Amino acid sequence: PKQPPTVFSWVPLLGNAVQFGMDPITFLKDCQKKYGDVFTFTMVGKRVTVCLGADGNQFVFNSKQSLSSAAQAYNHMTKFVFGPDVVYDAPHAVFMEQKKFIKAGLNSDCFREHVPMIVEETENFFKTYGNSGSFDAYEAFAQLVIRTASRCLMGKEIYNNLDGSVAKLYYDLDQGFQPINFIFPNLPLPSYRRRDVAREKMAELYSSIIQRRKEQNDTDNSDLLQALIDATYKDGSHIPDHHIAGMLIAVLFGGQHTSATTSSWTVLELAAQPELVKALLQEQIDKLGSVQADLTFDNLKDMPLLEACIRETLRLHPPIFQMMRKVVADKVVFEKYNLEIPKGNHLCAAPGVTQIDPVYFDEPLKYNPYRWLEKSDPVHQMEQGDDANIDYGFGAVGISSRSPFLPFGAGRHRCIGEQFGYLQLKTIISTFVRTFDFENLNGKVPGSDYTSMVVVPQHPAKVRYTRRA
Ligand code: HEM
């Protein structure tokens, strides 16, 4: 087999990093036109082989652990933020156990308690807004989601300290989790030092919280922290405190920015189509009798349009549009194309490209949640691949990686926060819709900013609101 075609670049070392960094979707689509679904480009010395299309997704996400590794692609930077012995810094089997614990801690019993908490946070947050005005969607929802995610996941002690020292710890960690840190994971600069100090302080803080909960027999908590305190590894050992701290930091990073940007994109898309806002309000009235009725875990399950809106946001604005693995075997062979990718290359799946490919979606750039409510929804049919029933041990069974729609990834590294993410988003959006009528300032949805860790709306991302009577 031959190697995939290489994308031309004028600058040998930097390669296509600038094009990829500024507008990756346009860059990848242009390359696809020239080179087909599989091609290699250079980014600051790294060789990245992009595999597009549903087959490309399957090839990357279903690749064997002995052939390609997520840890090798991510750990050089994540270990500084999450700390040692967790996630990509743990042996693969241990990380899979850790994912199982997190998944088990995010169960229906907890979700039942989470919904009223998220409603309360959202109502309190928007109480400070006047009867009408405008606000920046991403800034607002990032602040709100810090509160909702911390309250449901990180534990009451951390949540109660959000306006105190924890805010600074979050901020310093966040400054160490930027795209630049992938290229330069560790430099002798103040921001790197602050990141390391914040991680150590966070681990100490969790240690003291765990200690206190144990001493005071404070065990009746519906947060993820308690689930991790109560869990044991296969060998019977309790999870060490620094693993718990690391997992919770990872969860915060996995869940916070993704949900913050998705809620802001949803509100921005809805604001451009006032008839959708009306339809969402009507759905609540039809299902619950009135918008005064409490939102609950059970009644939120039965809101198809609301769910379709979130799904459509994740199709058009996936927070994580590409995912990487590093080839660790001598080579991997992409049989469909008879191509061979050498050791050391990165494999890149890009659901952000397949999700707007007209091969899979009619009028792909149009925000149309109703496409998910039609019987002929093409994605559901495509999702039943051969690999749909592999059990990776954390409950990802039944989702094939041969799908064009994979905002949560697929295979052994698939997201375990999807259900919590949907629940949090549905609760926030439905509370927002019943509180305000809203529209865009200029009728347009902002473009995408690809320069942060997740894809966020470009400034200004203003929404005009009027409080409902
Ligand atoms: C993995 C997206 C919410 C925790 C992933 C991956 C994606 C993703 C694309 C796969 C990464 C890869 O294959 O390289 C999202 C989106 C979310 C979301 C779009 C919300 C809208 C959450 C939440 C949590 C979480 C709320 C925690 C409670 C994780 C974890 C992994 C993961 C632990 C596993 C990483 C691995 O196995 O390598 N997520 N996520 N995510 N996510 Fe999420």
Q: pLDDT per residue over 395-442, tens digit each? A: 666 678 888 999 999 999 999 999 999 999 999 999 999 999 999 987
What pLDDT is attached to residue 435?
A: 98
* Greatest mean pLDDT range, 6-15, 182-191, 353-362: 353-362
Token pair 């991790």: residue: 228
What would the mean pLDDT of 115-123 be, rounded to a whole number? Answer: 97
What pLDDT is attached to residue 160?
A: 93
Instruction: Check: CB of residue 146 under 8 Å from CB of residue 167.
Output: no
Please name the helix (run of DSSP H) or strand (run of DSSP E) that holds residue 332, with its range, or none. strand 331-334
Instruction: Check: CB of residue 463 under 8 Å from CB of residue 137.
Output: yes
**Mean confidence (pLDDT) of the chain:** 93
What pLDDT is attached to residue 14?
A: 79
Pairing of strands 346-349, 46-51: parallel
Cβ partners under 8 Å of residue 55, min gap 6: 37, 336, 402
Angle at CA of residue 160, ends 156 and 166, nearest 5°? 105
Q: Give the strands of the sheet with 346-349, arranged side by side.
A: 38-43, 46-51, 346-349, 323-327, 68-69
What pLDDT is attached to residue 396?
A: 64
Confidence of residue 381 (pLDDT cuts 50, 70, 90): low
Distance of CA 416 from the midpoint of ligand 1 (Å): 6
Confidence of residue 173 (pLDDT cuts 50, 70, 90): very high
Confidence of residue 147 (pLDDT cuts 50, 70, 90): very high
CB-based pocket (< 6 A), ligand 1: 70, 99, 102, 250-251, 254-255, 258-259, 262, 319-320, 323, 407-409, 413, 415-417, 420-421
Rg, the chain, Cα only: 22
Per-residue burial over 161-180, b if 16 or more Cβ lie within 10 Å, else e, is beeeebeebbebbbebbeee
Pocket test for ligand 1, best of 408, 412, 425, 427 (most atoms within 8 A of CB): 408
Pocket test for ligand 1, best of 415, 419, 425, 426 (most atoms within 8 A of CB): 415
| pLDDT higher than threshold 90 for residue 237 | yes
Confidence of residue 148 (pLDDT cuts 50, 70, 90): very high
pLDDT digits (tens, 9 = 90+) for 9-43: 887 777 788 888 889 999 999 999 999 999 999 98
Bridge partners of residue 121, in order along the sequence: none
Complex ipTM: 0.99
pLDDT digits (tens, 9 = 90+) for 277-301: 999 999 999 999 999 999 999 999 9
What would the mean pLDDT of 265-279 be, rounded to a whole number? Answer: 97
Calpha distance 368→359 (Å, rounded): 17
What pLDDT is attached to residue 380?
A: 66
What would the mean pLDDT of 44-51 be, rounded to a whole number? Answer: 93
Please report how many Cα atoms fall inside a 13 Å half-sphere around the Cα of residue 384, on the Cβ side. Answer: 3
The ligand 1 atom nearest the CA atom of 351: 9
Instruction: Check: CB of residue 272 under 8 Å from CB of residue 446.
Output: no
Cis? peptide before 318, omega within 30° of 0: no
Tokens found for residue 268: 């921005």
pLDDT digits (tens, 9 = 90+) for 54-78: 999 999 999 999 999 999 999 999 9
Note the pTM of the prediction, 2 decimals: 0.96
Per-residue burial over 323-341, b if 16 or more Cβ lie within 10 Å, else e, is bbbbbbeeebebeebebeb
What would the mean pLDDT of 433-456 be, rounded to a whole number? Answer: 92
Helix (H, G, I), strand (E, B) or coil at 398: coil
What would the mean pLDDT of 43-61 be, rounded to a whole number? Answer: 94
Calpha distance 203→197 (Å, rounded): 10
| pLDDT higher than threshold 80 for residue 393 | no
